[in-house]
Structure 1
């Protein structure tokens, strides 16, 4: 290793000073250890996978004009308004079997209603999967995305087999406006 001598006049008549050297720390081993630890934790840590819900969407076939008649007591419509508000009715909007009723999210709100309706449909139609409750979810323009996710979670929790996300109609928007939910 090369050494640089910057001291004195070559030893002619001066004081002899002791040479002070700066201590050097070799960091090569520490860098190697850091990379080994990073590699170890990268290989042993399982990366968290995002959890998602399967959502089956129908094919858009403009030539298919078949309509399926569903009994009114099997269809429940949920209207989603602003500020975490919900409105639900049973059957058709024009002639509902159960009048539009305001409720809330969670186990004491929409989940309880869904469970009651599932039990009522099972008592009439049996355990046939094709004869279960059908839920139509309609979100307004004022609804937060979180509320839609919450409703989809409720569908998974209550094990509703048939549900759809539909467009909200003008009369339904007017109903939300009348109730102060739009």
Structure 2
């Protein structure tokens, strides 16, 4: 049992009047300790903890040295390539860089509703109609340069989530045309 002692409570020793001896005051703290633990338990169980905000990324398994890398071919009518440069610059093109479609030449843009988002939304809607198969949607290939920032990559991944792009990939390999375009963009 927990108790609180408040001194001996007696008078002076050895002299004078005889006083009655006071009893020691005892306070039982058991109920207060129990109540404290009950309150702590209650608040721990009823409080919702903040969940870390993270982005789901599906990363491929690491290749074994024995297994050859597969060369994946994608339909150029379904692809939109986005190149991220320095100073928040971005360029994109539909299909292969060597043969851009009319009006599909790379263009400077900003993120948001007036920039790349408008282009992505347009492509998300038009690609299944062009292919004729609603199951085959847009494929976005994101290519950050060495001068692009992590913020730019997160921003473009946010645009993928906002626009509900079914398939996208982050690629660090550039064709010769894409290297020239990235170098021109980073100047």
Instruction: Give TM class, smaller chain.
Output: 0.7 to 0.9
- Is it true that 1:75 corresponds to 2:74 in the alignment? no
Q: Using a 3 Å threshold, how does the CA distance of structure 1 residues 55 and 91 change in structure 2: closer, same or farther?
A: same
CA shift for structure 1 position 112: 0.6
CA shift for structure 1 position 119: 2.4
Looking at structure 2, the residues matched to 168 and 25 of structure 1 have their Cα atoms a distance apart, in angstroms, of 76
CA shift for structure 1 position 9: 6.8
**Partner residue, 1:114:** 120
Looking at structure 2, the residues matched to 175 and 41 of structure 1 have their Cα atoms a distance apart, in angstroms, of 58
Residues 27-48 of structure 1, C-alpha deviations (whole Å, 9 max, x = no match) = 6655543332221011122334
- Is it true that 1:86 corresponds to 2:103 in the alignment? no
TM-score normalized by the length of structure 2: 0.71
Q: Where in structure 2 are there 5+ consecutive unaligned residues?
A: 18-24
Residues 99-131 of structure 1, C-alpha deviations (whole Å, 9 max, x = no match) = 11111112221111001112221331134323x
Looking at structure 1, the residues matched to 183 and 27 of structure 2 have their Cα atoms a distance apart, in angstroms, of 74
Q: Please give the root-mean-square deviation of Cα atoms over the aligned residues, in Å.
A: 3.7
Looking at structure 1, the residues matched to 31 and 92 of structure 2 have their Cα atoms a distance apart, in angstroms, of 67
Alignment of 1:11-50 (within 5 A): 11=15, 29-50=31-52
**144, 147, 156: which one aligns with 2:152:** 147
Which has a greater percent of helix? 1
Looking at structure 1, the residues matched to 26 and 90 of structure 2 have their Cα atoms a distance apart, in angstroms, of 70
CA shift for structure 1 position 12: 5.3
Residue 44 of structure 2 aligns to a residue in which SS? helix
Looking at structure 2, the residues matched to 127 and 158 of structure 1 have their Cα atoms a distance apart, in angstroms, of 19
Looking at structure 2, the residues matched to 108 and 56 of structure 1 have their Cα atoms a distance apart, in angstroms, of 29
**99, 103, 115: which one aligns with 2:105:** 99
Q: Where in structure 1 are there 5+ consecutive unaligned residues?
A: 14-22
Which has a greater percent of strand? 1
- Is it true that 1:159 corresponds to 2:164 in the alignment? yes
More displaced 10-residue stretch of structure 1: 83-92 or 24-33: 24-33
Q: Using a 3 Å threshold, how does the CA distance of structure 1 residues 108 and 127 change in structure 2: closer, same or farther?
A: farther
Q: Using a 3 Å threshold, how does the CA distance of structure 1 residues 9 and 48 change in structure 2: closer, same or farther?
A: closer
**123, 131, 139: which one aligns with 1:134:** 139
TM-score normalized by the length of structure 1: 0.72
